[in-house]
Amino acid sequence: MVTQKTLSLPPFPRGFHLITDLIKANLDLPKTGVLHVFIQHTSAGLTINENADPTVREDLESSFNHIIREDEPFYQHTFEGSDDMPAHIKSSVVGSSLSIPITDGELNLGTWQGIYLCEFRNEGGSRNIVLTTMS
Amino acid sequence: MVTQKTLSLPPFPRGFHLITDLIKANLDLPKTGVLHVFIQHTSAGLTINENADPTVREDLESSFNHIIREDEPFYQHTFEGSDDMPAHIKSSVVGSSLSIPITDGELNLGTWQGIYLCEFRNEGGSRNIVLTTMS
Amino acid sequence: MVTQKTLSLPPFPRGFHLITDLIKANLDLPKTGVLHVFIQHTSAGLTINENADPTVREDLESSFNHIIREDEPFYQHTFEGSDDMPAHIKSSVVGSSLSIPITDGELNLGTWQGIYLCEFRNEGGSRNIVLTTMS
């Protein structure tokens, strides 16, 4: 059985943001299955990482900026600003979707796991997410 | 309900290539569900990124080559050529599969999203893809 | 139809490890479907890569260490050791889950594809994996 819902997230500033509670509040989970979370954008992404120490989110932002740099001399796609092409690259590195097991009617995340929205643009605005449960 | 099909892609040159239409032409989609796309190779990958400006694809190729370099002195797996080990690394960075929501009988991609084949070898040849719909 | 099982892996040393047989030994696969493999940790990951030459696994470890470095001056999350923050970053790069098609009752991996546990901590200990089949 498949259920599906589209969720429009509020705008987040550039960076990595915990959205586990926001996602959970919009779900009516089956007993056993898989939740698929999909972001409909190419300059933002989704990942799972530490849900406790906020410096992990800050260090992820610093690290992605360090590894995938703005204003590389070989970029051609530059007309939308210095943050645009790096945002596309980062979105392919973290990916556009997550699949999470559902067990006993709950997301079966590990103790330290949270769902992150990765906002790679300076002014990304609202982002749409499609939530699909399969059971 | 699950349907499945294997697709043999024509050879593509090294680089990032839009294959959304090629995939769509081989699908008979259910009303609601998830499409799983899986590439059966370890030196190519699949990702979702911008479907409009072709320089995004060129910049992705330049960026991946810049971050994951050929001929690193610490590579041991070198007997298949300079492009081989970087291709393996890149395939783990972008991933071997995609999952895309199906809504109202269509792939529910965002306006700017397209499906990319990432061909990381100089002469990768034909690549096999397994398409599975779950509904 | 959905079946699910949790698997506790034995501790692996830091590095990339083939666990295809370990996963297969714990599965009773349907005829057609998708296997979802999920790791419940934020300093380890899962990927698919070459199952033959062991130097590919060693080169992946060297490359990830080269690209995502320890002791970057901008890291704030440092109290768990030099290997901790890089492990979080690497886990977001490779991802926490895999989805693999099931065809004729077998995992439909390519000839050269194997399932890897990516252990990014020096002493990661036992890791939990949730296996879900959808058919």
Q: Cα dihedral angle (A100, B109, B23, B4), rounded to 10 degrees?
A: 30
Nearest residue of B to residue C98 by CA position?
Answer: B97
B109 at A interface, C-beta within 8 A: yes
* Burial state string for B105-134 with b = 16 or more CB within 10 A and e = fewer than 16: eebbbbebbbbbbbbbbeebeebbbbbbbb
Percentage, residues of chain C above pLDDT 90: 100
Task: Give the Cα separation of B47 and B56 in Å (integer).
Answer: 13
Task: Give the Cα separation of A101 and A38 in Å (integer).
Answer: 15
pLDDT tens digits, C3-23: 999 999 999 999 999 999 999
Nearest residue of A to residue C127 by CA position?
Answer: A110
- Are residues C113 and C45 in contact, defined by beta-carbon separation less than 8 angstroms? no
Percentage, residues of chain C above pLDDT 70: 100
Q: Count Cβ atoms below 10 Å from residue B8 Cβ, excluding itself.
A: 8
pLDDT tens digits, A72-118: 999 999 999 999 999 999 999 999 999 999 999 999 999 999 999 99
Nearest by CB to residue B55, choosing from A39, A67, A77, is: A77
Nearest by CB to residue C77, choosing from A32, A53, A93, is: A53
pLDDT band with cut points at 50, 70 and 90 for residue A63: very high
Task: Give the Cα separation of B115 and A58 in Å (integer).
Answer: 30
- Are residues C42 and A113 in contact, defined by beta-carbon separation less than 8 angstroms? yes
A20 at C interface, C-beta within 8 A: no
Strand partners, B128: B8
At A98 the pLDDT is: 98
Chain B residues with CB inside 8 Å of A125's CB?
A: none
Domain count, chain B: 1
Q: Where are the beta strands (DSSP E) in C51-112?
A: 97-103, 106-107
- DSSP assignment of chain A equals -EEEEEEEEPP--SEEEE-HHHHHTT----SSEEEEEEE--SSEEEEEEESS-HHHHHHHHHHHHHHS-TT-TT----TT-TTHHHHHHHHHHH-SEEEEEEETTEE---TTEEEEEEE-STT---EEEEEEEE-
At A133 the pLDDT is: 98
Q: Looking up tokens 């546990």, which residue turns up?
A: C117
B105 at A interface, C-beta within 8 A: no
Range of the domain at B53: 2-134
Nearest by CB to residue A68, choosing from B63, B101, B112, is: B63
At B112 the pLDDT is: 98
B108 at A interface, C-beta within 8 A: yes
Chain C residues with CB inside 8 Å of A109's CB?
A: 40
Query: What's the CATH number where C49 sits?
Result: 2.60.120.460
Please give the average per-residue pLDDT across B11-26, as a whole number. 97
At B20 the pLDDT is: 98
pLDDT band with cut points at 50, 70 and 90 for residue C109: very high
B100 at A interface, C-beta within 8 A: yes
B59 at A interface, C-beta within 8 A: yes
Give the minimum alpha-carbon distance from C84 to chain B in angstroms, rounded to a whole number: 19
Nearest by CB to residue A97, choosing from B94, B99, B112, is: B99
pLDDT tens digits, B72-111: 999 999 999 999 999 999 999 999 999 999 999 999 999 9
pLDDT band with cut points at 50, 70 and 90 for residue C36: very high
At A7 the pLDDT is: 98
Phi, psi of A22 (to 5 degrees): -60, -40
Q: Give, in degrees to the nearest 5, the angle at Cα C71 between A20 and C90.
A: 40
ipTM: 0.98
Nearest residue of C to residue A50 by CA position?
Answer: C42
Task: Give the Cα separation of B132 and B5 in Å (integer).
Answer: 7
In Å, how far are A16, A45, C12, C46, C76 from A124, measured between CA atoms? 13, 11, 40, 29, 26
User: What single-letter DSSP state applies at residue C27?
Assistant: -
Q: Give, in degrees to the nearest 5, the angle at Cα A131 between B17 and A89.
A: 30
A63 at B interface, C-beta within 8 A: no
pLDDT tens digits, B29-87: 999 999 999 999 999 999 999 999 999 999 999 999 999 999 999 999 999 999 999 99
Threshold 0.80, pTM exceeds: yes
